[in-house]
Each structure stands twice: as C-alpha cells, then as structure tokens.
Amino acid sequence: MIIANGSVALPRSDAPARADLRIIDGRIVEIGSNLRAGDGEQVVDAGGLLVLPGAVDPHVHFDTPGFESRESFFRGSAEAARGGVTTVIDMPCTSLPPVTDAAALDAKLAVVSGQALVDYGFYGGVRGGSAGSELEDGMASLAPRVLGFKCYLLSGMDTFPRVNHEELGRAIAQAAALGRPLLLHAEDADYCAAARIRVEATRTARGGGKPTWDDYVDSRPASAERIACAVASELAAERGCSSTLHVVHVGVAAAASALARSGATCETCAHYLAFTREDFAVHGAALKTAPPVKGGAEREKLWALLADGTIPFVTSDHAPSTREEKRSGSVWTDYGGIPGTGTLLPYLLSEGWLAGRLTLTRFLEATSGAAAARFGLDDRKGSIEVGKDADLVLVDPGAKTVIHGDRLYSKGRDTPFEGMELRGAVRSTWVRGRMVYDAGRDAMPTEASPVPGIVAEAGWGRFLTSLRDNSPMDYL
C-alpha cells in the first residue's frame, strides 16, 4: 500500500514534508516522493492532509474486566482510534483482579485481547500492605509482560491501597532491577487528609452549607504534589535509580521542574493544559480529576515546560464513569476521572502546534515519540520512520473539530472539553497499515451503533511488550 501526496510529519523536522509512504505487512518500508505502485498495490490519496504518527497515550483506565459499567476495552480503544491514538497503555488498578501478579495479567489479557482496536500494553500494579517479599515477587513475575509498574501515594480505590514510603523505595529499586519505569500517583496522603479537615472546618466556621468545587481543589493542594514528588525523588536518588521514577499526571509546574532536575520524568495531561480551577464554575463534575486542575498561572507554566521538554509528553488519564457516579450530588463523592483519550491529540494539535505553543518536533514528541521511548516501544512505535509500524493519523488541517460528549465512543460522556472548537480534524486512523477509524462513516453514536466510524474488527489491536526486555517473550 502507498499513502501518497500527504504532508508527512517526520521526526525532528520543522515542518511537514510532502512524501509518500510505502507500507508492507503493516510496516513503513519506504519514504520517498512519487513512489510508484506495484501490481495490485493499493494507493491512498492523502492530498491536502497531514500525515501524523498515531498518538501514544500511555495512561488510560479502560476498566476491563471488572468495571465495564464505566468503560470497556472495546469502547475505550474505539474512542482512542476516533481521536488518532494508535497505542495505549492501560493501568493495573481499575480492573478486577488488579494486575499485581502474572495470573491476574493472564485473566485481563484473555478478556482484552478480543476487544482491542488499537495496540496496547499493560502496567503492573504495586499495592501497599503486601507481606514479606510479595511486592518484589509480584513485580518480577510481571516484568516480562508489562511496560512499567504503577503505585499510589494517595489512592481512592479500596482494591488498590497506597504504598507507604518504605514500600515506595522498595518498588523503585525493584523496578530499576527489572528494567522498567516506576509510575507514581504523587499526592501526599497525610497532607491531603489535613487539608480536607481544614477545608471542612473553615466551611463550618462560615456557617456550613454545601461543599464547593473550591473546597475540593483546596483539599488536594499543590503542596501535596510537591511533597510527594520530593519524597519519591529522594527515595529514588538514595537507591541510585532516579531515572526509574516517572510521576503521572503532574499539574504543578514546580513539581515537574524538580523531578526533571532529579533525573526523573513526568507527564502532564491535556486537562491541566486546558483548564484552571475557575472552570469548575462552568463544567462542575465533568472537570473533576485527581489531582484537580490548579490556578491559571500553573497552566501557563505547564505549557512552557512542555514546550522546552522539561515535561516530555502528555497523556489523557482517560478514566470515565457512569453518569450517576459522575453526578452523585457531592464534590467529595462525584467520580474523579474524565474520558480523555479521544480528545488528547485533537487538543494538542490545535492548541499546541497549530496555535504556535509547541514546535512540530515537540508536538510529535509530546504526543507519540517521547512516551514510546520512555516505555520501551520505540523500536515499533512513536514516529514515521522506515521499519516502524504504520500507525498513522490523517488530519485535515483546514477543518474544525467541535467536541461533544454525546459523540464520544467512550462510555463516559461528561467531558470538560464539551463545546470546545479546535483547529484540524482527524479523517482516519491507521494501526499497522489497517484503517481502524474512518471519519467519513462517523455519525451520532447510538445504543445499537456505539462506534459508527470504526471499520476494523475488535481484536485487531495487538498486545505489546517492551523492547527493553532481557528475555523477550513471544507471548502472542
């Protein structure tokens, strides 16, 4: 197959270049101009379109198995494809059983493999409170088939308790020994608990009343993120494995800078770039995430750190819920999490590169290259280069995208991006040379047809393991 006449976003370039891509067996085998089609070779005309590498979203909660009322791997990966994401990495904590040992991973893979529309990898989970060497043994049993390990310093899940500082140190050391990053949800639990008590006391002193979104934001302050990141950096440095630490969904610029100085990495999410705490007045629970978005100054600083590479990449932290869970009636109990994988690339394309906040090079790194490299997938994923998988997004740069929750393929429909108008529109998404999403067939999703633009069968997505694997397992 040849994808011809597109404006192709090649890595480390200032502007897209007019080029043709030849694809054989799902891989890019040639990049050139005026490639001649062989006998029977299909030619796709990408004239007038941008050809971008498929986005890598290394932070999704597709909730399968166990919490399919919130999301399924089928619907989540369909939403990813709709938004130009061709690789996802799924978190271990929001499925049952949590992925903390090899048997749990087997159980998850058995269910997920028939549902996935885009390529996918998993993280292993590290829970607090495990006895003896359970923590280290569980991690070792998972290492060949996971792209990293995830733990929490503050957890809202009964099935996945947080680690204490001693356990965090051990988890970092073991992840380093196994050659995988250790991903951390970094908010200090004690600090947040005290902040919550203070918030409640202040409200009572003012005569009570319903808790507000300001109360929620104030209960999870920026200091709690900075403290947790400082502790984690210290624990990693003490063990000589600073580069093993990766802090997820950082919304505080000072924390991101400190992590980079220590040799650790971090990610931010599109919602921290797009919104501030003032936006709760408009969006309410649709904007509730953990950690919450902070003030406007923070947002601008995060953009600057993303532009200069201090924050290497952006993720969605896709974590939808049912409408009932999302709108429980209290800021404390409304579900914390938003459907984000389908809005990630369109948002960064429009407000990052096309708006001039990011160079093309940084845009490509932020949406695909840097995450692929961090999680050991860059032999196959993350850029348009000969030898890599033909994971592509064809985008009309002159068209507009207006985000509407009821058009999402995710089961979650409450999005803070509701009504946002963006420059550029995804026309099709390709995974290993196969079109998975076709905007030409997209329509308003219905119960009978929840993913109308999906043109590949469930199960097309392939399970990914890390190239940084001492004993690669040919698992599938």
User: Which position's Cβ is nearest Zn ion?
Assistant: 317
Nearest residue (CB) to Zn ion, 317 versus 391 = 317
Least Cβ distance, residue 289 to Zn ion (angstroms): 9
Least Cβ distance, residue 220 to Zn ion (angstroms): 14
Binding part of the chain for Zn ion, among 195-203, 237-245, 317-325, 350-358 by CB under 5 A, reads 317-325
Nearest residue (CB) to Zn ion, 9 versus 232 = 232
Phi, psi of 39 (to 5 degrees): -60, 120
* Rounded Cα gap, residues 250 and 315, in angstroms: 10
Nearest residue (CB) to Zn ion, 57 versus 317 = 317
Least Cβ distance, residue 179 to Zn ion (angstroms): 23
For 201, residues 6+ apart whose C-beta sits below 8 A from its C-beta are: none
Binding part of the chain for Zn ion, among 4-12, 304-312, 314-322, 417-425 by CB under 5 A, reads 314-322
Binding part of the chain for Zn ion, among 112-120, 191-199, 315-323, 456-464 by CB under 5 A, reads 315-323
Nearest residue (CB) to Zn ion, 225 versus 317 = 317
Least Cβ distance, residue 276 to Zn ion (angstroms): 20
Please state, in angstroms and as integers, the Cα–Cα distance from residue 226 to each residue in 91, 290, 341, following that order.
23, 15, 26
**For residue 243, how many other CB atoms are within 10 A of its CB?**
13
Binding part of the chain for Zn ion, among 2-10, 313-321, 377-385, 426-434 by CB under 5 A, reads 313-321
Binding part of the chain for Zn ion, among 5-13, 174-182, 310-318, 413-421 by CB under 5 A, reads 310-318
Please state, in angstroms and as integers, the Cα–Cα distance from residue 430 to each residue in 344, 395, 421, following that order.
17, 12, 24
**Rg from Cα positions in the chain:** 21
Binding part of the chain for Zn ion, among 13-21, 199-207, 251-259, 309-317 by CB under 5 A, reads 309-317
Nearest residue (CB) to Zn ion, 311 versus 436 = 311
* Rounded Cα gap, residues 270 and 50, in angstroms: 21
Least Cβ distance, residue 472 to Zn ion (angstroms): 28
Q: Which two tokens stand for residue 160?
A: 């996945």
Contact criterion met (CB below 8 Å) for 249 and 59? yes
Q: Which two tokens stand for residue 351?
A: 């407000």
Q: Which two tokens stand for residue 189?
A: 């639990």
- DSSP helix/strand/coil, 77: helix
Nearest residue (CB) to Zn ion, 108 versus 432 = 108
* Rounded Cα gap, residues 120 and 438, in angstroms: 20
Residues 92-121 that bind Zn ion (CB under 5 A): none
* Rounded Cα gap, residues 455 and 428, in angstroms: 10
* Rounded Cα gap, residues 138 and 40, in angstroms: 50
Least Cβ distance, residue 101 to Zn ion (angstroms): 21
* Rounded Cα gap, residues 424 and 420, in angstroms: 12
Nearest residue (CB) to Zn ion, 29 versus 157 = 157
454: DSSP letter: B
Nearest to 364 by CA among 341, 390, 339, 392: 392
The verdict on 267 binding Zn ion (CB under 5 A) reads: no
Binding part of the chain for Zn ion, among 237-245, 285-293, 311-319, 438-446 by CB under 5 A, reads 311-319
Nearest residue (CB) to Zn ion, 23 versus 56 = 56
Contact criterion met (CB below 8 Å) for 315 and 377? no
Contact criterion met (CB below 8 Å) for 382 and 372? yes
Nearest residue (CB) to Zn ion, 100 versus 401 = 100
How many residues line the site for Zn ion (CB under 5 A)?
1
Least Cβ distance, residue 240 to Zn ion (angstroms): 28
Among 317, 351, 391, 414, binds Zn ion (CB under 5 A): 317
Q: Which two tokens stand for residue 286?
A: 């649709």
Nearest residue (CB) to Zn ion, 70 versus 380 = 70
Least Cβ distance, residue 94 to Zn ion (angstroms): 8
Phi, psi of 268 (to 5 degrees): -115, 180
Contact criterion met (CB below 8 Å) for 286 and 415? yes
Q: Which two tokens stand for residue 87?
A: 């690789």
Least Cβ distance, residue 147 to Zn ion (angstroms): 15
Least Cβ distance, residue 25 to Zn ion (angstroms): 34
Contact criterion met (CB below 8 Å) for 224 and 269? no
Convert residues 384-423 into a mask of x (bound to Zn ion by CB under 5 A) and - (unbound): ----------------------------------------
Nearest residue (CB) to Zn ion, 343 versus 383 = 343
Least Cβ distance, residue 64 to Zn ion (angstroms): 15
Residues that bind Zn ion (CB under 5 A): 317
